[in-house]
């Protein structure tokens, strides 16, 4: 069967959440959706659970042994047969409006979709990341039904100018919680020999898609639900686990003889991993000319502010990159002004959020989200 959309889920040792995500997608009864599960867990116990569901819409592959993040994501993409692809985490979910958007994209010849990330579900947990969230919390941001076409190449330049900060707020095409035409992924593989590279798949793919997507649409409503469970990456970032010595970074697992780009300070953090992957993506697409547009003074000052324990490494790197103290002070001033501007704009244009307590699982979160009318039907788009 030819599927219009493949939902791709790489997973590792989070069988409970992955199974819930599969059941949530199947509960929508969307026959044109294929679910691709790439499992790199310590055991394949998820296989029996999936077999018991007995759905022809599920493709499951188990890879025993150590795989890097990017290799697990690459194998996940290789399982898909859909005309359009959407990748989510194993603790995430999708909204039923996703098929309306895929049909709209197909009718308009759109390569990629950048949706809002306005639906967030915190799984039941006693972790401090979730305030009063022991029984599950869903937050929804209400936005207008607007859409606009974007310029991916300009967005990439903004990413470089902004030192790879807040990339999800930019007009960067994305496979993770976005929708991309399958031929764009094949174009990436044809040009570079692989779907993914670097250390973090979402950043790499956003940069890669900026080179190959010709028509990208941005909408201000979500088509997926971002899940946060006790072992998710978002949780680790909030609790400070994504910082340390470079050799301790989990991103290196499964890589052999990985060469860290010398333009980035050599310590482990979200910022350095993102920036290094950006550099690797530019190398893969033979666009080293763009590396000079990376705002190194801004990046160095951000690292100094966020990771003072690595100030010696950062200052030594800044000196090697010929980044002057004056340029860093200038960027520091501009950064403060940007933060102040953002605070003012948030007060003038506040986002309307609704919070639901005691939401037991991702399927209930989807039902609440759907009934709240936050999702966008294709016939309501204003382009």
> 340-377 pLDDT, tens per residue?
887 887 777 666 788 999 999 999 999 999 887 554 44
Mean pLDDT of 80-99: 96
> 201-243 pLDDT, tens per residue?
999 999 999 999 999 999 988 999 999 988 765 544 444 457 8
User: What is the domain range of residue 37?
Assistant: 5-228+352-380
Same domain, 374 and 309: no
Same domain, 26 and 136: yes
Same domain, 344 and 359: no
* pLDDT for position 94: 97
CB 63 within 8 A of CB 39: yes
> What's the token pair of residue 377?
């039907």
* pLDDT for position 352: 75
Same domain, 310 and 206: no
Pick 146 or 87 by higher pLDDT: 87
Whether the per-residue pLDDT at 72 is higher than 90: the answer is yes
Q: Give the 3-state secondary structure of residue 289.
A: helix
Say if strands 33-39 and 147-150 run parallel, antiparallel, or are unpaired: unpaired
Average pLDDT, the chain: 89
For residue 263, which of 235, 290, 237 has the smallest C-alpha distance? 290
* pLDDT for position 338: 83
> 185-201 pLDDT, tens per residue?
999 999 999 999 999 99
Whole-number CA gyration radius for the chain: 21
* pLDDT for position 85: 98
* pLDDT for position 145: 62
Whether the per-residue pLDDT at 70 is higher than 90: the answer is yes
Same domain, 45 and 178: yes
Whether the per-residue pLDDT at 279 is higher than 50: the answer is yes
> 239-260 pLDDT, tens per residue?
445 788 888 899 999 898 899 9
Same domain, 245 and 357: no
Mean pLDDT of 157-167: 92
* pLDDT for position 350: 66
Give the CATH number for residue 207.
3.90.550.10
Same domain, 44 and 30: yes
113 strand-pairing partners: 179, 217
Same domain, 210 and 190: yes
* pLDDT for position 117: 92
Same domain, 173 and 89: yes
H helices of the chain, where? Answer: 15-26, 45-53, 69-78, 98-108, 152-161, 182-192, 201-212, 233-238, 270-284, 296-306, 311-320, 325-348, 362-371
User: What span, in angstroms and rounded, lies between the C-alpha atoms of 181 and 110?
Assistant: 8
Mean pLDDT of 133-141: 83
61 strand-pairing partners: 38
Say how many C-beta atoms besides its own lie within 10 A of residue 214's C-beta: 11
Whether the per-residue pLDDT at 339 is higher than 90: the answer is no
User: What span, in angstroms and rounded, lies between the C-alpha atoms of 100 and 176?
Assistant: 18
CB 168 within 8 A of CB 117: yes
Percent of the chain with pLDDT over 90: 71
Q: Give the 3-state secondary structure of residue 35.
A: strand
Same domain, 303 and 375: no
Q: How many CA atoms lie within 13 A of 267 on its CB side?
A: 19
Q: Total domain count for the chain?
A: 2
Whether the per-residue pLDDT at 112 is higher than 80: the answer is yes
Same domain, 141 and 268: no
For residue 181, which of 230, 207, 215, 135 has the smallest C-alpha distance? 215
Same domain, 118 and 267: no
């Amino acid at each position: 069967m030819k599927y219009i959309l493949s939902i791709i889920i790489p997973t590792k040792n989070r069988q409970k959440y992955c199974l819930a995500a599969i059941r949530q997608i199947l509960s929508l009864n969307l026959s044109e959706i294929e679910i691709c599960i790439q499992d790199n867990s310590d055991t394949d116990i998820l296989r029996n659970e999936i077999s018991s569901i007995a759905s022809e819409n599920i493709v499951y592959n188990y890879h025993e042994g150590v795989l890097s993040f990017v290799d697990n994501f690459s194998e996940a993409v290789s399982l898909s047969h859909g005309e359009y692809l959407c990748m989510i985490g194993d603790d995430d979910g999708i909204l039923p409006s996703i098929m309306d958007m895929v049909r709209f994209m197909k009718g308009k010849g759109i390569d990629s979709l950048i949706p809002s990330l306005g639906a967030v579900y915190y799984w039941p947990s006693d972790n401090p990341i979730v305030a009063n969230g022991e029984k599950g919390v869903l937050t929804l941001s209400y936005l207008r039904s607007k859409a606009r076409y974007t310029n991916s190449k300009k967005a990439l330049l903004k990413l470089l100018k902004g030192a790879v900060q807040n990339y999800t707020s930019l007009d960067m095409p994305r496979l993770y919680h976005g929708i991309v035409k399958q031929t764009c992924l094949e174009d990436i593989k044809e040009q570079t020999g692989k779907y993914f590279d670097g250390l973090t798949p979402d950043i790499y793919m956003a940069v890669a898609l900026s080179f190959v997507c010709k028509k990208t649409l941005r909408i201000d409503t979500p088509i997926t639900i971002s899940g946060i469970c006790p072992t998710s990456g978002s949780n680790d970032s909030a609790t400070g686990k994504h910082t340390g010595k470079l050799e301790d970074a989990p991103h290196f697992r499964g890589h052999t003889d990985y060469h860290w780009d010398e333009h980035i300070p050599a310590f482990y953090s979200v910022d350095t991993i993102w920036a290094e992957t950006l550099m690797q993506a530019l190398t893969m697409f033979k666009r080293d000319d763009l590396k000079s547009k990376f705002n190194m003074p801004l990046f160095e000052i951000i690292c100094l502010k966020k990771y003072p324990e690595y100030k010696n490494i950062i200052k030594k790197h800044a000196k090697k990159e010929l980044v002057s103290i004056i340029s860093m002070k200038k960027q520091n001033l501009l950064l403060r002004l940007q933060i102040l501007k953002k605070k003012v704009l948030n007060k003038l244009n506040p986002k309307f959020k609704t919070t639901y307590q005691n939401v037991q699982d991702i399927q209930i979160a989807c039902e609440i989200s759907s009934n709240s009318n936050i999702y966008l039907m294709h016939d309501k788009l204003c382009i």
